[in-house]
Amino acid sequence: MSLTRIPAATLCHIPFEIKPLIMRSSAYYWSKIMLAMYSMALLISQSQPPQLELERIVVTGARPLSTIEVVKDPKAPQQPLPAHDGADEAINSAYQRWGIDTQMGWTPDDDTVVLLTVGQSGAEAAYADRMMDGALFDRTSASLRWRESYLTDWLAELDTQVYFGYVDHVMDNYSLREFTPSMQMPNPAVKNPDRYSRGGRIVATLDTKLWSKFQLGLDHQYHSHRERVSMNQFVMPYQAKARIADATIEQTGVFVETNFALTNNSALLSGMRVDFWQALDQRQQLGSMAMSQPNPTADESRSDELTSGFLRFERTEGAHQFYVGLGRGERFPDFWELIGNQNQSETTISAFNIAPELTHQLDIGHHVRSNNLEVLINAFYNRVDNFILIESGQMMNPNTVRSIKAESWGGEAAISYRPSPNWLVDASVAYTHGSNLTDRRALAQQPPLELKLGAEYKIHDWTLAGLWRVVDNQHRVAIGQGNIAGSDFKETSGFSTLAVNGHRRIDRNWRLSIGVDNLMDKRYAEHLSTAGAAVSGFEQTTQVNEPGRTFWFKLDYHL
- Work out whether strand 65-73 and strand 320-331 pair parallel, antiparallel, or are unpaired: unpaired
Residue 558's alpha-carbon distances to 38, 50, 55, 218, 508, in angstroms, are 5, 21, 11, 39, 8
Lowest average pLDDT, out of 126-135, 215-224, 400-409, goes to 126-135
Determine if the peptide bond prior to 64 is cis (ω within 30°).
yes
- In eight-state DSSP terms, residue 336 is H
Fold of 370-558: Maltoporin; Chain A (2.40.170)
| pLDDT of 71 | 54
Range of 50-54, 170-174, 529-533 with top mean pLDDT: 170-174
Structure confidence at residue 210 as a pLDDT band (50, 70, 90): confident
d(CA 285, CA 295): 5
- Assign residue 537 a region (left: φ > 0; alpha: ψ between -120 and 50; beta: otherwise): left
| pLDDT of 341 | 84
H helices, E strands: number in the chain: 1, 31
Lowest average pLDDT, out of 329-338, 459-468, 478-487, goes to 478-487
| Helix spans in 214-371 (H) | 335-338
Q: Is the pLDDT of residue 139 over 70?
A: yes
| pLDDT of 73 | 53
Structure confidence at residue 22 as a pLDDT band (50, 70, 90): very low
| pLDDT of 82 | 66
Q: Is the pLDDT of residue 225 over 90?
A: yes
d(CA 296, CA 281): 10
Q: Is the pLDDT of residue 403 over 90?
A: yes
Question: Domain-by-domain residue ranges, the chain?
Answer: 105-242, 370-558
Q: Is the pLDDT of residue 514 over 90?
A: yes
Q: Is the pLDDT of residue 34 over 60?
A: no
More confident: 38 or 22: 38
Q: Is the pLDDT of residue 35 over 60?
A: no
Closest listed residue to residue 482, CA positions, set 531, 526, 445, 532? 445
Burial class (CB within 10 angstroms; exposed 0-12, middle 13-18, buried 19+) of 92: buried
* Three-class DSSP labels, 61-87: CCCCEEEEEEEEECCCCCCCCCEECCC
| pLDDT of 41 | 56
Per-residue pLDDT tens digits for 58-101: 444 444 544 445 555 544 444 555 667 776 677 777 888 888 88
Instruction: Spell 56-80 as b/e; 16+ CB within 10 A means b.
Output: bbbbbeeeeebbebebbbeebeeeb
More confident: 278 or 489: 278
d(CA 234, CA 38): 45
Mean pLDDT of 160-165: 97
Q: What are phi and psi of 240, to 5 degrees?
A: -90, -5
Instruction: Check: CB of residue 554 under 8 Å from CB of residue 40.
Output: yes
Instruction: Check: CB of residue 212 under 8 Å from CB of residue 242.
Output: no
Which H or E run contains 436? strand 423-436
| pLDDT of 92 | 75
Which residues are registered as beta bridge partners of 256? Answer: 216, 272
How many CB atoms within 10 Å of residue 312?
19
Mean pLDDT of 105-121: 91
| pLDDT of 368 | 96
Mean pLDDT value across the chain? 85
Structure confidence at residue 21 as a pLDDT band (50, 70, 90): very low
Q: Is the pLDDT of residue 523 over 50?
A: yes
Closest listed residue to residue 94, CA positions, set 60, 140, 134? 134
Q: Is the pLDDT of residue 536 over 60?
A: no
| pLDDT of 331 | 97
Q: Is the pLDDT of residue 19 over 80?
A: no
